Amino acid sequence: MRNFEYAAADSEADALSLLADHPGETAILAGGTDLVSLLQKELVNPRRVVDISRVSELKAIEPTDDGGVRIGALATLEELLASPLAAEYPSLRDVASAIRAIQIQQYGTIGGDLCHLPNCWYFRKGYGLLGDSNGRALSEEGDNRYHAIFGNRGRAKFVSASRFAPSLIAWDASVRIAGPAAGEEAWLPLEQFFVTPKGDQQGVTRLAPGQLITHLELTPAAGRLSGAYEVLEMSGLDWPLAAAASTLEMEGGVVSRAKIVLGHVAPTPWVSHPAADVLRGQPITEATAELAGEAAVSEASPLKDNEYKVRLAKTAVKRSLLRAAGANV
């Protein structure tokens, strides 16, 4: 680990001003579950680490005026699990409870999850997000068993690491981005927050230097069904091999609108329109869920080592729908 300057913020404004001092040379510390290992491996080498963990205005989970919920970026996964407001969004609980390490539940924050950098082993070994070594595309040539099966025709083959993004996007969540200037803020649909980098200098989100995410807002849950399913190989702390989250609006026992988002299968959370389309006008049954799963993977483009993830993605979609419909799968 290299030396860095540590600065603790006690308000959002304070955090923005501490970030503004060293444009592009700062890192934001919340729970630290990702940043600390990035620092240890010298994959990020900030001049200053801005600790926002004491900024109390970013911790609350509270109702919005329209009956939705606003979640502070510093809400921990444990707080999310305990929150009666979040309980109205079952797919979020499916994900929070699947993060089985108590330490991560206690320290990890929802904002940190959204900003978690990819677990791609080429990135983590220092070959950059695109996994380049002297012009060779390592994640294409090398072992890509955990890599993307969608959105992988460009140079980026890694999978988005966020556990919560699929279910939040399925709930049409929006995200508040503050900065870089004091008082500057923007609300963005979370679906648009993630980007697939095309060059070495690009990141995996729209966050610009000096910005931070402060809150998420979810529209009212009432009347909608949701479920998430992560394919986890291990019962302890483990990352999904594939995941899916579904939010459904039902009318007369059939789906009037479905939003189905896959995780850990593409460089960004992957919204599946084909899966949503086949469900419209259908009840949720084992058979329709299976069809939606098949539709979801119809455009998959697996790499040489990850054909199996197509099956997993299909299963995840199917089981997320069955969970949304109340089945215990």
5-13, 106-114, 122-130, 177-185 -> range binding other proteins (CB under 8 A)? 122-130
Name the token pair of 250.
């039902």
> In the complex with other proteins, which residue's Cβ is closer, 185 or 305?
305
> In the complex with other proteins, which residue's Cβ is closer, 134 or 201?
134
Does residue 286 bind other proteins (CB under 8 A)? no
- Residues 144-163 interacting with other proteins (rule: CB under 8 A): 145-146
Q: What is the DSSP letter of 318?
A: H
CA distance 158 to 266: 7
218-226, 232-240, 248-256, 257-265 -> range binding other proteins (CB under 8 A)? 232-240
7-15, 59-67, 116-124, 197-205 -> range binding other proteins (CB under 8 A)? 116-124
Does residue 306 bind other proteins (CB under 8 A)? yes
- CA distances from residue 173 to 10, 73, 151, 218 in whole angstroms, order as listed: 26, 13, 22, 5
Question: Which residue's structure tokens are 């054909």?
Answer: 307
Residues 6+ apart with CB under 8 A from 108: 31, 33, 76, 77, 99
Does residue 235 bind other proteins (CB under 8 A)? yes
Minimum CB distance to other proteins, residue 126 (Å): 8
**Paired sense of beta strands 174-178 and 185-189, if any:** antiparallel
Listed residue (163, 206, 214) closest to 15, CA to CA: 214
Q: According to CB under 8 A, which one of 12, 19, 107, 121 is a site residue for other proteins?
A: 121
Q: Evaluate the CA torsion angle 76, 216, 164, 303 in order and state its sign.
A: negative
Does residue 102 bind other proteins (CB under 8 A)? no
Q: Which residues bind other proteins (CB under 8 A)?
A: 1-3, 100, 119, 121-122, 124-127, 133, 136, 138, 141-143, 145-146, 231-239, 241, 305-308, 311-312, 315, 318
